[in-house]
């Protein structure tokens, strides 16, 4: 038998600040850029009751961790449940099982921030954000750790939601966050544009992007999800989290391919290749860059490893035990 740490959502909540997630995820993507294995998500779709069961995995050998994410969404309860198993990449033994709900916006936001750090202009300071939910909060708080922000404008179709977001984020960040009446208002003139939505249709007109804008899109992880229009894709240096997932579930890029404005050769590089220095990122002050963040095991394992170390140091969590296969199968 081997002991394994169980971390509940309340154990995880508040255990690390956004900057710690960004540091861990940056290191995870560097390892990916140097060859660490990672696979795109797999999804099983259930029709009745409607729901999705999905998972993805990664191995970060230098960090000594491997694992991934498994979650269900929809089904009879119309909710989502996130589980993160973490294993020792040397021995293969289970180290921890995390309730992944509390870390979800922060590890996803950290991936977006890594994209900003390596693709946005160094002097980028204004943000237009479309979306006002937990993921939008995670993206903005993480982005604020890699750029000194001077102003943020947020649009959400529900006025009360964008006003609440603006009030909360103004209090959380050292800059003014203002609710605006349209996505065009949020995008126009922004140095960084963040989309954190469930949209099936583009949420802004790509012609509105000023030269030199960076776009982080994190809500397009099925062929039907399409936050960005073909103009944005065609104008941009396009960087995904994993190359292998682009033609599987990166809806905006897939639609642009179908429209004939780009092809797979227009996938510039994976984010990890840029972080590791094996590919260039931004090449001019005027080009538009896009980071397509559909979710991977890279940020999940990196964040889980960081949280595991912090939880052990603080004595958090409870212990559960697992039997190794040779013991369980033989009964010895």
**Domain segments of the chain: what residues?**
2-104+297-330, 113-292
Q: Note the residue count of the chain.
A: 332
- Under 8 Å between Cβ of 263 and 247: no
CATH 3.40.50.970 fits 113-292, yes or no: no
Q: Which residues pair with 289 in a beta bridge?
A: 214, 237
> What are the helix and strand counts (H, E) for the chain?
12, 14
Helix ranges (H only) for 259-332 are 271-275, 297-314, 325-330
Give the SS3 label for residue 316. coil
At 111, which helix (H) or strand (E)? helix 104-119
Whether 51 and 77 have beta carbons less than 8 Å apart is answered as no
| Cut 0.85: pTM above it | yes
- At residue 332, the pLDDT reads 59
Contact 225, 166 (CB under 8 A): no
SS3 content of the chain, % helix, strand, coil (to 5): 35, 25, 35
DSSP-assigned states of every residue in 74-110? ETTTTEEEEEEEEEETTT--EEEEEE-TTTHHHHHHH
pLDDT value at residue 272: 98
Predicted local distance difference test score (pLDDT) of residue 250: 94
Taken in order 102, 103, 106, 108, the sign of the CA dihedral is: negative
Domains 2-104+297-330 and 113-292 share a fold: no
Closest among 12, 39, 197, 224 to 104, alpha carbons compared: 12
Q: How far apart are CA 208 and CA 205, in angstroms?
A: 6
Grouping H, G, I as helix, E, B as strand and the rest as coil, residue 228 is: coil
Report the alpha-carbon distance of residue 252 to residue 220 in Å, rounded: 7
Mean pLDDT, contiguous 10-residue spans, the chain (332 residues): 93 96 98 97 91 94 96 88 96 96 94 98 98 96 98 97 97 95 98 94 97 92 88 97 95 96 97 98 97 95 98 96 82 60
Q: What is 2-104+297-330's CATH number?
A: 3.30.1780.10
Q: 307 CB contacts (<8 Å, ≥6 apart)?
A: 7, 12, 15, 16, 98, 103
Own/partner pairs, 156-160, CB within 8 angstroms, 24+ separation: 156/130, 156/131, 156/132, 158/132
Would you tell me how many other CB atoms lie within 10 Å of the CB of residue 55? 16
């Amino acid at each position: 038998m081997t002991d394994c740490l169980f971390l509940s959502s309340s154990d995880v909540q508040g255990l690390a600040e956004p900057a710690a997630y960004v540091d861990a995820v940056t290191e995870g993507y560097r390892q990916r850029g140097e060859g660490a294995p990672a696979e795109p998500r797999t999804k099983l779709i259930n029709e009745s009751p409607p729901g999705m069961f999905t998972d993805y995995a990664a191995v970060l050998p230098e960090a000594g961790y491997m694992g991934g994410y498994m979650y269900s969404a929809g089904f009879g309860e119309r909710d989502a449940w996130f589980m993160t198993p973490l294993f020792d990449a040397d021995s293969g033994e289970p180290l921890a099982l995390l309730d992944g709900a509390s870390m979800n916006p922060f590890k996803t936001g950290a991936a977006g921030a890594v994209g900003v750090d390596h693709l946005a202009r160094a002097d980028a300071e204004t943000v237009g954000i479309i979306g006002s939910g937990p993921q939008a909060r995670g993206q903005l708080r993480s982005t604020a750790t890699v750029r000194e922000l001077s102003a943020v404008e947020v649009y959400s179709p529900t006025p009360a939601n964008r006003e609440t977001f603006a009030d909360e984020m103004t209090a959380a960040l050292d800059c003014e966050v203002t609710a605006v009446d349209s996505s065009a208002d949020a995008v126009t003139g922004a140095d960084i544009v963040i989309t954190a939505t469930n949209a099936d249709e583009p949420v802004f007109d790509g012609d509105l992007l000023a030269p030199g804008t960076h776009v982080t899109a994190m809500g397009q992880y099925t062929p039907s999800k399409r936050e960005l229009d073909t103009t944005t894709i065609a104008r941009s240096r396009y960087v995904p989290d994993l190359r292998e997932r682009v033609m599987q579930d990166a809806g905006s890029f897939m639609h642009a391919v179908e429209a004939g404005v780009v092809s797979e050769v227009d996938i510039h590089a994976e984010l990890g290749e840029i972080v590791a220095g094996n590919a260039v990122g931004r090449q001019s002050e005027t080009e538009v860059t896009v980071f397509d963040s559909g979710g991977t095991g890279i940020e999940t394992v990196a964040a889980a490893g960081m949280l595991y170390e912090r939880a052990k140091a603080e004595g958090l969590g409870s212990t559960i035990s697992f039997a190794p296969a040779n013991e369980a199968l033989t009964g010895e």
